[in-house]
């Protein structure tokens, strides 16, 4: 009497949980075996796709069949050939594998005697039909997702800083979630400022809770979803494009474009670490007065177990400075940049005047951007006319169109960043002046990260310390103005 193993497969967890398809298949197979006087040896249950044979239950079953010698079943039964496989090429190979093990695979609802050559044509049909069905379903899904992207919808799990939500109308979308969205915004702003290396910003974000690798962080910075755009990739003759998303942006398009310039190497970020030990705020900001190398910092353990901090050069140079002394002299140096009493009103007038002039220049910039956008649109119109007249080929027009659309995208992004909300310049100026008048005292109250931010703002280039005084080739523009005014007042006094 023949023996058989029954193979029951469903394709989704939902089918497996409900059990209707599983029970139905097993019932059909057992009824068939009862009519044909076939002994059922075991039933193999599978809850996996039939696109390949890399299925857990199938792999385990095949391994057992290869080990068994005398107790192998003569038949492997399933209801239909699409339960066996939905890939014709893989199915033929697996049939040969089973035959070498003296096992005959059969579909009880689509029986075929494979020893008859003509039946192989029917087998090809049975195997190809579910594969075609899969391919058609996949293609319909692809076109549906492409159409949704063109409408500005984000379809997958939201990136870091977003969370998936369902609107009142039932549509899926993503919305910013704090504090993650704030971390993303901070990352873009810091990369655009060029004060620290990109990887140093990533490490600081990891300490704040981002937890991502270097490659993932770069992908985050290159993701236009954060500025409210959706990428529609190219497909056949259709070019790729960026469309306005239906979700809320975390950053502006202008900020996103600035960061892309940084990542493309148009601007080289300063290689200075954001964080440092509390006793070494000036580490990597100092250069050696002897050899010109960058000074690092470390602590030496004394005989009594206490630690002494030093700024030092490479071992061959032997340059070393006591860190507490260097820090104290630096704090005294900050006193040079505290504005003299009695000139607060002058600074306030200057700040407001500069803001007024910059606001005016912003309108000029906006007008220039609009003119450039108009010029690019004219180029596109002329190119289309040349194409219709036969002056240029379609390939030339496509190249012209692609270049113009790329320029238009960048120009429109810059244009969107030129319009700013009205701000309280009087309040901002007053708060800034209060901080400036207390600069040396404010420094001592900052944490190590904030101290290093302040140092980087005042000194865009490294300082040279000779053990008793600091000298630097360049200081920030705003700080330079304060220093010059203070020096002139001191001379007049």
Q: What is the mean pLDDT of residues 281-294?
A: 83
Q: What is the pLDDT of residue 246?
A: 85
Q: Is the domain of 314 the same as that of 448?
A: yes
Does the residue 143 lie in any domain?
Answer: no
Q: What is the pLDDT of residue 474?
A: 64
Q: Is the domain of 40 the same as that of 124?
A: yes
Q: Is the domain of 121 the same as that of 227?
A: no
Question: Residue 12 CB: number of other CB atoms within 10 A?
Answer: 12
Q: What is the pLDDT of residue 392?
A: 81
Helix, strand and coil percent figures for the chain, each rounded to 5 = 55, 15, 35
Dihedral of alpha carbons 146, 148, 151, 157, sign: negative
Q: Is the domain of 53 the same as that of 188?
A: no
**Do residues 5 and 43 make contact, with C-beta atoms less than 8 angstroms apart?**
yes
Q: Is the domain of 36 the same as that of 126?
A: yes
> Which among 190-204, 426-440, 471-485 has the top mean pLDDT?
190-204
Q: What is the pLDDT of residue 490?
A: 47
Q: Is the pLDDT of residue 492 over 50?
A: no
481 — pLDDT class (breaks 50, 70, 90): low
Q: What is the pLDDT of residue 25?
A: 87
Q: Is the domain of 176 the same as that of 241?
A: yes
Q: Is the domain of 400 the same as that of 319?
A: no
- Residue 38: which CATH number? 3.40.50.1390
Decide which of 411 and 44 is more confident. 44
Decide which of 445 and 79 is more confident. 79
88: Cα separation from own chain's centroid = 38
d(CA 327, CA 334): 11
Number of structural domains the chain divides into: 4
Residue ending a domain, among 385, 405, 427, is 427
344 — pLDDT class (breaks 50, 70, 90): low
343 — pLDDT class (breaks 50, 70, 90): low
Q: What is the mean pLDDT of residues 383-398?
A: 79
66 — pLDDT class (breaks 50, 70, 90): confident
Does the residue 144 lie in any domain?
Answer: no
d(CA 189, CA 187): 6
Q: What is the pLDDT of residue 245?
A: 85
Residue ending a domain, among 407, 427, 447, is 427
- Average pLDDT taken over every residue of the chain: 79
d(CA 456, CA 196): 9
Does the residue 145 lie in any domain?
Answer: no
Q: Is the pLDDT of residue 227 over 80?
A: yes
Q: What is the mean pLDDT of residues 357-365?
A: 62
**Do residues 85 and 127 make contact, with C-beta atoms less than 8 angstroms apart?**
yes
Q: Is the domain of 462 the same as that of 374?
A: no
d(CA 108, CA 80): 7
Q: What is the mean pLDDT of residues 134-144?
A: 83
340 — pLDDT class (breaks 50, 70, 90): low
Q: What is the pLDDT of residue 77?
A: 92
Q: Is the pLDDT of residue 298 over 70?
A: yes
With tokens 């079953």, the residue in question is: 61
Q: What is the pLDDT of residue 421?
A: 47
d(CA 205, CA 466): 35
Q: Is the domain of 207 the same as that of 253?
A: yes
Does the residue 277 lie in any domain?
Answer: no
With tokens 């030092």, the residue in question is: 312
Q: What is the mean pLDDT of residues 380-386?
A: 80
Q: Is the pLDDT of residue 257 over 70?
A: yes
Q: Is the domain of 214 the same as that of 109?
A: no
Q: What is the pLDDT of residue 491?
A: 41
Q: Is the domain of 125 the same as that of 259?
A: no
pTM of the model: 0.48
Q: Is the domain of 100 the same as that of 22?
A: yes
Does the residue 278 lie in any domain?
Answer: no
Does the residue 151 lie in any domain?
Answer: no
Does the residue 81 lie in any domain?
Answer: yes
Does the residue 454 lie in any domain?
Answer: yes
- Residue 176: which CATH number? 3.90.1750.20
Residue ending a domain, among 378, 399, 427, is 427
pLDDT digits (tens, 9 = 90+) for 362-374: 566 777 778 888 8
pLDDT digits (tens, 9 = 90+) for 168-221: 777 888 888 888 888 989 989 888 887 778 888 888 888 888 888 888 888 899
* Owning domain of residue 232: 162-263
Cα separation values, 105 from 5, 97, 110, 267, 410, Å: 10, 10, 11, 65, 60
């Amino acid at each position: 009497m023949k023996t058989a193993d029954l193979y029951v497969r469903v394709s989704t967890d939902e089918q497996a949980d409900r059990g209707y398809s599983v029970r139905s298949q097993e019932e059909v197979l057992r009824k068939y075996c009862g009519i044909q006087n076939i002994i059922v040896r075991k039933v193999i249950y599978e809850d996996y796709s039939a696109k390949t044979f890399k299925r857990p239950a199938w792999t385990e079953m095949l391994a057992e069949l290869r080990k068994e010698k005398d107790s192998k079943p003569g038949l492997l039964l399933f209801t239909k050939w699409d339960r066996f496989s939905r890939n014709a090429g893989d199915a033929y190979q697996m049939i040969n594998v089973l035959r070498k093990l003296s096992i005959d695979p059969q579909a009880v609802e689509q029986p075929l005697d494979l020893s008859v050559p003509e039946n192989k044509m029917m087998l090809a049909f049975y195997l190809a039909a579910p594969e075609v069905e899969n391919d058609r379903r996949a293609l319909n899904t692809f076109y549906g997702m492409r159409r949704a992207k063109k409408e500005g919808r984000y379809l997958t799990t939201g990136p870091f800083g977003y969370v998936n939500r369902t609107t009142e109308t039932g549509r899926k979308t993503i919305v910013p979630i704090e504090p993650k969205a704030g971390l993303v915004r901070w990352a873009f702003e810091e990369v655009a400022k060029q004060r620290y290396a990109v990887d140093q910003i990533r490490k600081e974000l990891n300490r704040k809770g981002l937890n991502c690798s270097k490659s993932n962080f770069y992908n985050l910075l290159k993701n236009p979803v954060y500025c409210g755009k959706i990428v529609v990739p190219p497909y056949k003759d259709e070019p790729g494009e960026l469309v306005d998303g239906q979700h809320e942006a975390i950053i502006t398009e202008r900020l996103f474009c600035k960061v892309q310039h940084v990542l493309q190497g148009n601007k080289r970020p300063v290689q200075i670490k954001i964080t440092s030990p509390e006793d070494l705020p000036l580490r990597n900001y100092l250069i050696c007065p002897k050899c010109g190398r960058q000074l690092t910092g470390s602590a030496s353990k004394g005989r009594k177990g206490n630690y002494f901090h030093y700024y030092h050069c490479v071992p061959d140079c032997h340059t070393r400075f006591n860190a507490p002394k260097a820090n104290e002299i630096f704090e005294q140096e900050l006193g040079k940049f505290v504005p003299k009493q009695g000139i607060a009103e002058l600074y306030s007038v200057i700040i407001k005047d500069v803001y007024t002039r910059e606001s005016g220049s912003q309108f000029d910039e906006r007008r220039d951007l609009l003119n450039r956008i108009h010029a690019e649109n004219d180029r596109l119109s002329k190119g289309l006319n040349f194409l219709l007249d036969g002056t240029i080929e379609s390939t030339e027009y496509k190249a012209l169109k692609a270049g113009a659309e790329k320029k238009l995208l960048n120009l429109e992004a810059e244009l969107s960043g030129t319009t700013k909300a009205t701000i309280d310049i009087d309040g901002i100026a007053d708060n800034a002046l209060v901080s400036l008048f207390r600069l040396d005292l404010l420094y001592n109250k900052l944490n190590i990260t904030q101290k290093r931010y302040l140092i980087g703002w005042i000194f865009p280039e490294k300082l040279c310390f000779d053990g008793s005084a600091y000298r630097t080739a360049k200081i920030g523009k705003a700080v330079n103005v304060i220093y010059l005014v203070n020096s002139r007042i001191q001379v007049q006094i």
